[in-house]
Amino acid sequence: MSRDESFVSAVIVAAGSGTRMKMDKNKMYLEICGEPVLARTLQVFQDCELINEIILVTNSSDIFFCKQHIIDRYGFDKVGKIVAGGKERQNSVFNGLCELNENTGIALIHDGARPFVDEEILKNSINAAREYGSTGVAVPVKDTIKITDEEAFVKDTPDRRTLWAIQTPQAFKYELIYNAHKKALEEGFIGTDDAVLVERMGYRMKLIMGSYFNIKITTREDLAFAEAIWENTKA
């Protein structure tokens, strides 16, 4: 069946935990200025007119809570399914890809813990995926990066002008990313992101400019930073 590139689906991965925050609940449900991280993330995708559906991937134990306290409470009617995640993030993404609408031509993959993605980034990602097949959001690194050996002695200092910090969303033509995930699964390969699965098949990824505000909530310090971002963007 041919895919329709005007039909765009998003896989939002929210199957995390509070381990690095030393909390007893999924960080997706922690609040930024009174609203859960995941709700803020989903709202951007809900409001983007180019997004047709959202598949949310979360822990199996969180599905009922998530539906009741996030999806139903905030009226996210683009969320077509809530899917149980897998052992690794990569497994969770593949579970989401398998549940996308049969018409999906473009698939966006986004971390639920990045609540400050904006609509312009989503639209740019979709348009770039249609043109290039594979695209990722990134920002130039600000710091000098050192490559070290096993004993932490510096081996090399790469040119900072060629270095980018990768964010999400990453966007792909559906069949490309699905086949890349399927191949990785069959071969037992685990990548650091979705793009590397496509790259190992010989395809190049086009980077587009992201935002330094598009942070991933990982530590307690990130929550304080997130509240500052929210207050600044709404000022």
**What does the pLDDT look like over 19-68, one tens digit per residue?**
666 666 678 999 999 999 999 999 999 999 999 999 999 999 999 999 99
The residues facing 207 across adjacent strands are: 136
**What does the pLDDT look like over 98-142, one tens digit per residue?**
999 999 999 999 999 999 999 999 999 999 999 999 999 999 999
Is the pLDDT at 17 greater than 80? The verdict is no
CA–CA dist 203, 205 (Å, integer): 7
Phi and psi of 138, rounded to 5°?
-155, 165
Whether 82 and 67 have beta carbons less than 8 Å apart is answered as: yes
155 Cβ contact list (under 8 Å, min separation 6)? 147, 148, 149
CA–CA dist 86, 123 (Å, integer): 29
Q: What is the pTM of this model?
A: 0.94
pLDDT at 19: 60
All structural domains of the chain, each given as residue ranges with its CATH number in brackets, are 4-233 (3.90.550.10)
Whether 176 and 199 have beta carbons less than 8 Å apart is answered as: no
Q: Name the one residue in this structure whose structure tokens are 């995390």.
A: 16
CA terminus-to-terminus distance, the chain: 48
